[in-house]
Amino acid sequence: MNDAAAKREAGGAVALETETTGVPGGVPGTNADVVIVGAGSAGIAAARRLLANGLSVVVLEARSRIGGRTLTRRFRGHPLDLGAHWLHAGPINPLVRLGRERREPLRRAPVEGHVFVRGRPGSRAQGAALDRAFAMADRAMTQAAKGREDQPAAKALPPMGPQGRRVAAIHGLVSGRPLGEVSLHDFPSMEYADNLFIAGGLGAYVERLARGLPVRLGTAVHAIDWSGQGVRVESSAGTLHGRAAIVTAPMAVLQREAIRFVPALPDACREAIHGFTEGVYEHVVLHWPGSPFRGADRLASLTGGRREPPGLLTCIDDTPFHFFELDQPGAAGFDRRDPHAPFRFAREVLAEHFGHRAIRDLTVMHATAWRHDPWSRASWAVVPPGLHPIRDMLKAPVGERIWFAGEALSRAQWGTAGGAWEEGERAAAEVLGQLAPRNGASGSRAGG
Ligand SMILES: Cc1cc2nc3c(=O)[nH]c(=O)nc-3n(C[C@H](O)[C@H](O)[C@H](O)COP(=O)(O)OP(=O)(O)OC[C@H]3O[C@@H](n4cnc5c(N)ncnc54)[C@H](O)[C@@H]3O)c2cc1C
């Protein structure tokens, strides 16, 4: 559905009301057919699909902006993503498919990266050795994941010396936790090949996709009562009634009981929610015109130093901006009361590799802190060893009227905006299957 269509569909949108008034054309006694909690990728995808299929929706969003863990902000006039930036797994990513349909400015991410050894460009052989170590690790993990018993993903890595430590550090970064804390059965299910970027930022793109949707900002949901018919959703802006709810709040937020369910959720559902651990991945935004990096959007591996950053994305969009990435152990080392600690850390590590003269024109512009944000509490949800069924466990609806959606439920695209989108669409399709026949709309029309 294009933006014009979304607007048209949203013409019948309901405004949040503090009393039960009924939706024109909807079921008497409800404010909307479906109440969606959260206006991130999953919530937006669900709202678009439901509206396109004739159901009324209202999206309640705690923050004063749309997009959740996607967010584009301007730095010195240039748009930069402070949350998701990569469109991973192009061939299966629904945001790529939709982007192509809408003729969005997508570009392929380069495959080649930089390898620096003690601040100097590494040889071709050093780059090839790292590539081989990645290939060996991937083969070993894929093979070991076929075993019946789950185990920490780190245990499947063959001994590979310093290259192995580098591979483990990078996989740990993209997992959100060190590989010793990640389920081997879950980890290799993620597709990472064929990545893309979008000009103007992924956050801005997701925000465009929400245009015209009935989103109520600054509205935190604190309870969902499903004891009677449908759902009764209590929020900071009043109470709403719906026939069903789709909850896309992050797992780490649900674990803190930010939303009370009445009656309590079934045990299996609670266990699944509480099974996840918090994945941490943070961007430190650098402006560094004199950096030694050439070519746009390349990952750089800095090796041979006492400290090696697990991720560095250089010359973003061919600008002097770079992301110095923080992994969970790195971020955990900082004192929360000192917001400049990541700034100093990035400078120290880069000075260690390239020398103090080389970083004279480096400015650290910003460091994200999604792990401390009350509406995310983490960058994404991680499955610990032994708990790999929890993503699927959460897909079962509760009382045939509450569905969970979001990145945590996606198996092939966990921890991504594309995975969240896919799960929002899945939940919406199931809600349509449940509610649409009585409305006269057909679930088979679902297509967004
Ligand atoms: C630094 C960083 C880098 C990342 N990099 C990438 C990347 O390169 N590529 C990629 O694909 N993914 C990346 N991700 C992950 C990606 O951002 C997320 O997986 C995805 O955006 C999650 O979407 P979601 O809809 O599941 O959740 P969210 O986007 O978190 O949306 C949930 C929404 O619910 C709202 N909410 C929470 N509680 C309540 C409540 N009680 N009431 C009302 N509203 C509530 C929140 O405010 C939020 O807007 C990154 C994440 C981070 C933090």
**Least confident range of 100-104, 192-196, 334-338, 367-371:** 192-196
DSSP letter at 122 equals P
Helix (H, G, I), strand (E, B) or coil at 251: helix
Domain boundaries, the chain: 3-69+202-277+378-445, 114-194+281-372
H or E segment at 9?
Answer: helix 3-10
Query: In 203-281, where do the E strands start and end?
Result: 215-216, 221-225, 231-235, 238-247, 260-262, 277-279
Q: 63 CB less than 6 Å from ligand 1?
A: yes
Same topology between domain 3-69+202-277+378-445 and domain 114-194+281-372: no
Q: Where are the alpha helices (DSSP H) in 53-201?
A: 94-101, 124-144, 161-175
227-274 pLDDT tens trace:
999 999 999 999 999 999 999 999 999 999 999 999 999 999 999 999
Class of domain 114-194+281-372: alpha beta
Q: How far is the CA of 404 from the centre of ligand 1 (A)?
A: 14
Residue 436 pLDDT > 80, yes or no?
no
The residue behind tokens 């919530």 is 43
* Residue whose CB lies within 8 A of the most ligand 1 atoms, among 16, 69, 198, for a mutation test: 69
How confident is the model at residue 190, as a pLDDT?
A: 67
Residue 127 pLDDT > 70, yes or no?
yes
Report the CATH architecture of 3-69+202-277+378-445: 3-Layer(bba) Sandwich (3.50)
Helix (H, G, I), strand (E, B) or coil at 187: helix
116-125 pLDDT tens trace:
999 999 998 9
Q: 167 φ, ψ to 5°?
A: -60, -45
305-355 pLDDT tens trace:
899 999 999 999 999 999 999 999 999 999 889 999 999 999 999 999 999
Largest CA distance in the chain: 70
Q: How far is the CA of 442 from the centre of ligand 1 (A)?
A: 30
336 versus 217: the higher-pLDDT residue is: 217
389-432 pLDDT tens trace:
999 999 999 999 999 999 999 999 999 999 999 999 999 999 99
Helix (H, G, I), strand (E, B) or coil at 404: strand
Cα separation, 277 vs 182, whole angstroms: 9
197-208 pLDDT tens trace:
999 999 999 999
Q: 38 CB less than 6 Å from ligand 1?
A: yes
Beta-carbon neighbour count of residue 198 at 10 Å? Answer: 23
Q: 325 CB less than 6 Å from ligand 1?
A: no
Q: 254 CB less than 6 Å from ligand 1?
A: no
Cα separation, 192 vs 171, whole angstroms: 11
56-112 pLDDT tens trace:
999 999 999 999 999 999 999 999 999 999 999 999 999 999 999 999 999 999 998
Q: What does the pLDDT average to over 38-66?
A: 98
How confident is the model at residue 448, as a pLDDT?
A: 33
CB 83 within 8 A of CB 72: no
Q: Where are the alpha helices (DSSP H) in 232-276?
A: 251-255, 267-275
Q: How far is the CA of 417 from the centre of ligand 1 (A)?
A: 7
Cα separation, 61 vs 391, whole angstroms: 23
Give the pLDDT band (50/70/90) at residue 437.
Answer: low
